Structure 1
Amino acid sequence: MWNQSNIQNPDNTHNQSNGPSPEHEYLGLGKSVAYGLQHVLTMYGGIIAPPLIIGNAAGLSSAGIGVLVAAALFVGGLATLLQTLGIRHVGAQLPLVQGVSFAGVATTVAIVTTSGGLQAVYGAVIVAALIGFLLAPYFSKIIRFFPPVVTGSVITMIGLSLLPVAVRWMMGGNSQSPEWGSTANISLAAMTLGIVILLNLTRNAAIRRLAILMAIVSGSILAYLLGFGDFSTITEGAWIQTPGLFAFGLPVFEATAILSMLIVTLVIMTETTADVIAVGEIVGTEVDSKRIAAGLRADMLSSAIAPVFSSFMQSAFAQNVGLVAITGVKSRFVVAAGGVILVILGVLPVMGRLIAAIPVPVLGGAGLVLFGTVAASGIRTLAKIDYDEQKNLIIVATSIAVGMIPIIDHDFYAHFPGWVQSLFHSGISSTCLMAIFLNVLFNHLRFFKTTTKTITRPERMPDTQH
């Protein structure tokens, strides 16, 4: 625990000689809870979406889907605490929020509908996660293949791949709704976006850091006054509900399901590696192979335990990386407070219903800034690259273009084998894999490697001709 003398301004940069690294700062209980709630609101829609999709595919009743949602919140909170606080060799101890991974949704739905239901899914998750746990120290060695030309491309794509989510939220979240894309929905999102901008124009640093939370609360109140959303169901149903163990039966272990989930695990490990590097870049702290391995172990351990509480594969949430960037609050204890809030939401359904009642366009207005901030952080990293070297331009251009393919057209890989779809369904994993491949091709293979070794642009006087 940090004592009072260790508490520093989160906007300052620290090193070992003059204080703790930014991620190790403790800001006090009040600020930690407020900033932690901001993180929860940012990722709430993302964490409940996978159990909703999977539950409907499994044909569960509304009560059964409710169990999956509560389990996702509860396990996501525990996983976040493990990732941020950490135990020996487990947990990156960085401000990373954990939750059910979107990367495994398609595979999970396929297993549910063709290979034995939820019990087969849980068996596959347990085995694949344990294998991933054992692979973590070896997988983390790929850090040497992540120079700025790769990390900048990946971080930029994290932001770009999230922007369609914000746009869908702005339009209403449900394309089947008659209100989808209505002027009212988009106007509400625009007003929330306007509130975020106005709050960031103030000179008060505390208000700027809480701008997202305050904008979401203000937008929700404004929505209520204008007749948006349904807040009447908040008090309906149970107020306290503890998560059960193996609520849908004991896991079943099937070889085909395990193999499919193992491919998903490799994709998740790739994306988590990118997220760890991205948040380390934003926080301004060193990320080495040991830290990546610790983060991957936290991912895999929490994923292996998740089926016990009826949840699924866990991974770091990229949207919260943007919140760290835009607020400048880099403390892992803030995100740990968010983890505690998620655990509470998992056992207090009434609180979950309160947050779920927030109109989706409100989240969309705030999300537009958050996700754009992630892309801006990637662009800042890419600014370090020396584009006089043609190879760097090719790496950045090609990897980002390939990453945009599944974002532009979700069916691009529809006729490819399942393992190809699993690897390239995400713009993040597509960019990451292509950037690593091209970086190895141009900078590590002797046959193609050029004589110059400069990767980042050296310090020099501005060129007035360009």
Structure 2
Amino acid sequence: METSREAESTPGEADSTPGRHPVDVVPPPFQLLAGGLQHIAAMVAGVVAPPLIVGAAVGLGTGETVMLITASLFTAGLATLLQSLGWWRFGARLPLINGGSFAAVGPILAIAKDAAPGRALPVIFGATLVAGAMAVFAAPYFSRLHRFFPPIVGGTVISLIGLSLLPVALGWISGAGEGAMGEAHVPMKNLAVAGFSLVVVLLCHRFLTGIGRQLALLIGLIAGALLGWPLGLLDTGPVRSAALVGFIPPWHFGAPEFQIGAIVSLCIVMLVVMTESTATMIALGEIVERPAAEHHIAGGLRAAGIGTMLASVMGGFACGAFAQNVGLVALTRMYSRYVVAVSGALLVLLGLFPVASAVVELVPKPALGGTGLVLFGTVAASGIRTLAKADLGDPINSLIVGVSLFIGMTPTVAPSFYQGLPGPFSIILASGISAGCVTALVLNQLFRNRAANVLAAAPAAVEKPAC
């Protein structure tokens, strides 16, 4: 499947093969499998959440909802394989996980509410198919935004990726779900498991070296699961009730239907997903020390579009990059894209064997939340490192960063703040990453272009002295 390009930058310290960039190095089998499992643990809840919410909204039974979940896992695996290994002009060829984007959930629920009884999913999948095709054709044009991401913009967006994921970790710890903590009281046993997992990860980084340090997250998750077992946080019920084998046939929920309103709504969502994916690829390029060039981004967006089209056929939703896995790459320094390719293969197996997916789900959410604090904090730290390359002593740079961070963090601290706006604006601003990214891009162009014009006009404004 792979048509790998030659290494494009100087190998970093994680490289163990002379002349090859760490991204292109194939680690030993044990490291591949263990690293792939870490990525699965970090992102599987994010893949499972959208089909659970949508399934409940459209009135699916338990069996049909399970099929929706397995379809999301299966298509996420195929999209991840395409992103990491690459084929022709498809795939970023970076350690990038792809899966169903949470950005599509709100608009999908609105479509489901307006659809005729029993026809919601065909309308959703028809609109998703068109949105994916739009992403494939728009990818080469959208990728040109890369030139508008200097350190002041890129660093702001990377920081926002880490900061906006904080509610996800807190939701896992509280047990209320991703980003849904609200005013819920957090049980003491949840805090104990989360804190224990966090401490184990930190101790691994302090005292272990080599593969032990790289697998710190997996060790922390296992430790948290062992502590959560006697505390009643390890639910084995899903494993006992899960089917051994299950595969959803194409168009299982009905042939796609195409409605203009739904298509426009999900095309806007896809633009948001493309913006987030572009920002994530740029962040990942900074972390692995292989800057994401225009062809990387175009290939990544094409792969996301193909993944979205495939998801619509199998029963999934709009496909985008998973930012939480960027933190895992930064934390473990396992830069190899083949580790992520193994994650993609494992996701495909999870989609084919529901019982295996149930085993992964055994990990208590508080343990995942405790380790998530490390993951997402590491992403924010990478953004701060990128911002250090810009001159924050310049008042204009400080203004760009400050305003962009505040606008980008608004949906995180006040999720309903923009709900009263017209549909397209509400969709764009509901994603903190997209809102902050667009703000930073616009402000940087506005102020930097003005400064350039002033400097260009300055020599002409100086009159020559009279002879």
Q: Compute the TM-score of the two structures, normalised by the length of structure 2.
A: 0.91
Match of 1:437 in 2: 442
Contact in 2 for aligned 1:152/1:379 (Cα 8 Å): yes
Instruction: Say whether residues 1:45 and 2:45 are aligned partners.
Output: yes
Match of 1:113 in 2: 113
Instruction: Say whether residues 1:75 and 2:75 are aligned partners.
Output: yes
Instruction: Say whether residues 1:133 and 2:136 are aligned partners.
Output: yes
Query: 2:149 is matched by which residue type in structure 1?
Result: F
Shift of 1:307: 1.2
Matches within 5 A, 1:194-213: 194-213=199-218
Quote the Cα distance in structure 1 between the aligned partners of 2:12 and 2:192.
Answer: 33
Contact in 1 for aligned 2:139/2:301 (Cα 8 Å): yes
Deviation readout 1:179-210 (Å, 9 max, x if unpaired): 85111111111111111111111142211100
Q: 1:177 to 1:261 in 2, by over 3 A?
A: closer
Contact in 1 for aligned 2:14/2:335 (Cα 8 Å): no
Query: 2:13 is matched by which residue type in structure 1?
Result: N
2:386 to 378, 381, 389: 381
Deviation readout 1:415-457 (Å, 9 max, x if unpaired): 11010011110110011000000111012356765569xxxxx
Contact in 2 for aligned 1:441/1:448 (Cα 8 Å): no
Instruction: Say whether residues 1:275 and 2:280 are aligned partners.
Output: yes
Gaps of 5+ in 1: 453-466
1:172 to 146, 171, 175: 175
**Stretch moving more, 440-449 or 256-265:** 440-449
Q: 1:355 to 1:255 in 2, by over 3 A?
A: same
CA RMSD of aligned residues (A): 2.2
Contact in 2 for aligned 1:443/1:449 (Cα 8 Å): no
Contact in 2 for aligned 1:172/1:180 (Cα 8 Å): no
Query: 2:122 is matched by which residue type in structure 1?
Result: Q
Contact in 1 for aligned 2:171/2:181 (Cα 8 Å): no
Query: 1:163 is matched by which residue type in structure 2?
Result: L
Shift of 1:20: 1.2
2:239 to 234, 256, 273: 234
Query: 1:24 is matched by which residue type in structure 2?
Result: D
Match of 1:459 in 2: none
Match of 2:58 in 1: 58
Quote the Cα distance in structure 2 between the aligned partners of 1:431 and 1:449.
Answer: 27
Query: 1:120 is matched by which residue type in structure 2?
Result: V
Contact in 1 for aligned 2:31/2:211 (Cα 8 Å): no
Query: 2:164 is matched by which residue type in structure 1?
Result: S
Query: 1:167 is matched by which residue type in structure 2?
Result: L
2:165 to 162, 167, 178: 162
Instruction: Say whether residues 1:29 and 2:29 are aligned partners.
Output: yes
1:152 to 145, 149, 155: 155
Q: 1:177 to 1:292 in 2, by over 3 A?
A: closer
1:304 to 306, 309, 312: 309
Contact in 2 for aligned 1:57/1:109 (Cα 8 Å): yes
Contact in 1 for aligned 2:15/2:25 (Cα 8 Å): no
Give the match's secondary structure for 2:155: helix
Contact in 2 for aligned 1:410/1:425 (Cα 8 Å): yes
Q: 1:224 to 1:419 in 2, by over 3 A?
A: same
Quote the Cα distance in structure 1 between the aligned partners of 2:257 and 2:48.
Answer: 24
Match of 1:260 in 2: 265
2:191 to 158, 171, 186: 186
Deviation readout 1:153-204 (Å, 9 max, x if unpaired): 0000000000111011111134699985111111111111111111111142
Deviation readout 1:100-122 (Å, 9 max, x if unpaired): 00111101111112134010010
Quote the Cα distance in structure 2 between the aligned partners of 1:59 and 1:424.
Answer: 29
Instruction: Say whether residues 1:330 and 2:335 are aligned partners.
Output: yes
Query: 1:261 is matched by which residue type in structure 2?
Result: L
Shift of 1:14: 6.0
Shift of 1:226: 3.0
Q: 1:303 to 1:159 in 2, by over 3 A?
A: same
Shift of 1:127: 0.7
**Stretch moving more, 20-29 or 340-349:** 20-29
**Stretch moving more, 239-248 or 158-167:** 239-248
Deviation readout 1:253-285 (Å, 9 max, x if unpaired): 111100011100111110000011000000000
Match of 2:461 in 1: none
Query: 2:323 is matched by which residue type in structure 1?
Result: A
Matches within 5 A, 1:320-399: 320-399=325-404
Gaps of 5+ in 2: 458-467
Q: 1:139 to 1:67 in 2, by over 3 A?
A: same
**Stretch moving more, 417-426 or 437-446:** 437-446
Percent same amino acid at aligned positions?
Answer: 42
Instruction: Say whether residues 1:12 and 2:30 are aligned partners.
Output: no
